[in-house]
Amino acid sequence: MDCVFCKIVVGAIPSYKIYENDHTLAFLDINPVSPGHTLVISKKHYSNLEDIPEKELCEMIKTVKKVGKALKDGLGVEGYNILKNNDPVAGQIIPHNHFHVVPRKKDDNLSQWPQDKYKEGEADNISKKIIKNIN
Q: Are 96 and 3 within 8 A, CB to CB?
A: yes
- Looking at the DSSP assignment, which residues form a beta bridge with residue 26? 19, 40
Q: Are 47 and 61 within 8 A, CB to CB?
A: no
- Give yes or no: 23 in active site: no
Nearest-5° angle of CA 97, CA 98, CA 102?
Answer: 160
Which of 37, 96, 98, 100 is labelled catalytic? 98
H or E stretch including 54? helix 54-75
Residues belonging to the active site: 98
